[in-house]
Amino acid sequence: MHRPRRYDQLASVQKGDFFGVLGQGMNLIASHVETLVAAAKRSDNAGDRLAAEVLLAIARDEAGKFLVLLDAARIPYNNKARMTSQLKRAADHLSKSLYVEMTDVCPATLSVVERYLALVRRSHYLDGPNDADWVFRNRALARREDLMYVDYQETDEGFIWHRPSVSQFQSLLYVPQVFQLVADMRAAGFCDPAGLEVINKVWRDIVPTNGSDGTEDTHWTDIESRNVCTLKQVLATGVAGDIKQMAGHSIVDFWTFPLHSVDLTLIDTTKSVEDEQRRLMRANLWDWNDYADIAAEQWEDGPADIAHDMLCDLSLNPPI
């Protein structure tokens, strides 16, 4: 029987073979990311913006998978529960997207990481000119799916067919840092079994803390110094590939906090967002009613009277 996406089964690989099997997959993923990014650039140069963005979306997903698996190498091999939970994230689009996002931000401490992730893990959020005009679904998931699929969607204005599209003026002016990071890690030997063993030795006793229980809030400088140590020790094994084009600073600067012990699950904010939208809309209606009352005093029979009547009706019968 062929069963795809069984990443959690890597936890059952014998300890002596684990880093070899893990590294084999990571090397394939890094190569695939490189191929996808190159294809995206060719499509962009040919003027096919949508194809380029779809290819980059797949590349982001694969790069996130690479970082998820790399984080598994920072876990003690005998901690099967944490290892299995982490490996399952390789099949979860949100988790992979969050790993990618963390390469583009510069949090000072783990508590800042967790606060940031709590925002981007929301299933729904409000936005618009008045901060509450529309309810949007999770940005990371929507960005990926809206590029790839035609979909029948429910919106605040009703049901619509969504068609993937990008602006005709859009080009690949920005390529996520994560692609360079993955390429550099591969070149440095992070996919080699010997390199992964070094990573495990350097990191396996490190579980960052957020300071909430009286412990120290792990600071970025602690992670950065360990990144430097890791890179030096991996390079010392002699397993690095072609490092002539490698920007070693990307590994030091953009390999983020270990996230294997941080919650990356989707937060269901459906009801709270709807309640907040109602509250803000009522508050905005009161503001507009006050404005309409003032305007009505200046124009006895004009648009202000009509607007006032409409707003009063809305305040008694809100649309939500």
CB-count exposure of residue 89 (10 Å: 0-12, 13-18, 19+):
buried
DSSP for residue 9 = G
Residue 99 shares a structural domain with residue 24: yes
Q: What is the pTM of this model?
A: 0.84
- pLDDT for position 313: 41
Are 274 and 238 in a shared domain? Answer: no
User: Could you tell me if 77 and 189 lie in one domain?
Assistant: yes
274 and 250 inside one domain: no
Q: Are residues 249 and 285 in the same domain?
A: no
In a domain, 143, yes or no: no
Whether residue 311 lies inside any domain: the answer is yes
Range of the domain at 308: 270-316
Residue 232 has pLDDT above 50, yes or no: yes
- Residue 119 domain-assigned (yes or no): no
pLDDT of 172 above 90: no
Q: How confident is the model at residue 249 (pLDDT cuts 50, 70, 90)?
A: confident
What confidence score (pLDDT) does residue 60 get? 96
Per-residue confidence at 277, pLDDT binned at 50, 70, 90? confident
- Are residues 183 and 249 both part of a single domain? yes
- Same structural domain, 189 and 291: no
Q: How far apart are CA 25 and CA 192, in angstroms?
A: 10
Work out the mean pLDDT of the chain and round it to a whole number: 86
Same domain for 94 and 179, yes or no, is yes
- Tell me, yes or no, whether 193 and 283 share the same domain: no
Close Cβ partners of 46 (under 8 Å, ≥ 6 residues apart):
none
The predicted structure's pLDDT at residue 248: 67
What pLDDT does residue 302 have? 43
Same domain, 192 and 95: yes
- Round to whole Å and give the CA distance between 142 and 239: 39
Please check whether residue 141 lies inside any domain of the structure. Answer: no
- Count up the domains in the chain and report the number: 2
Same domain, 22 and 89: yes
